[in-house]
Amino acid sequence: MFSVCMCARFQSAPKESHLKAVKKIMKYLKGTLNVGLWYPKGTSLSLISFFDSNFAGCKLDRKNTSGTCLIFGECLVSWNCKKQACVALSIAEAEYIATGSYCAQAIWIKHLLSQTKHIRNPTNVLNMTVEP
């Protein structure tokens, strides 16, 4: 996921190193053609999510990259990797910015799951963020 995000940043002016990286990604994907989501009977259908951010990770403009992933019933169902629009002045600020993206994604997936009757008692997204 992170590799695809990094390669996408250089689509307008790619170099040989970017082509090599994309070829590695394609080789990996070719080996996963038969991989899919599988929810065996008795699997806990809980929603678990993670997010993180690096601080000043881009050497060109010192912007951060945020990443989120949501796991439903032991299967990764949603993920995001994006360069933040502004330069954070501290690690705490970078994490705070990442939290906004994470909450938007978590609210969307919880709404989707509640529409399909998988989650009967939705919890507060803030509780999801605070609980370990």
pLDDT band at 113 (very low <50, low <70, confident <90, very high): confident
- What is the average per-residue pLDDT within 32-46? 77
* Claim to verify: residue 66 and residue 108 sit in the same structural domain: yes
pLDDT band at 77 (very low <50, low <70, confident <90, very high): confident
pLDDT given at position 117: 63
- Whether the per-residue pLDDT at 126 is higher than 70: the answer is no
* Claim to verify: residue 74 and residue 109 sit in the same structural domain: yes
Contact call for residues 1 and 81 (beta carbons, < 8 A): yes
Contact call for residues 49 and 70 (beta carbons, < 8 A): yes
What mean pLDDT is reported for the chain?
Answer: 76
pLDDT given at position 118: 57
* Claim to verify: residue 31 and residue 41 sit in the same structural domain: no
Q: What span, in angstroms and rounded, lies between the C-alpha atoms of 61 and 76? A: 31
DSSP state of 64: -
Task: Provide the domain limits for residue 119.
Answer: 37-130
Greatest C-alpha distance within the chain:
51
Number of structural domains (the chain) is 2
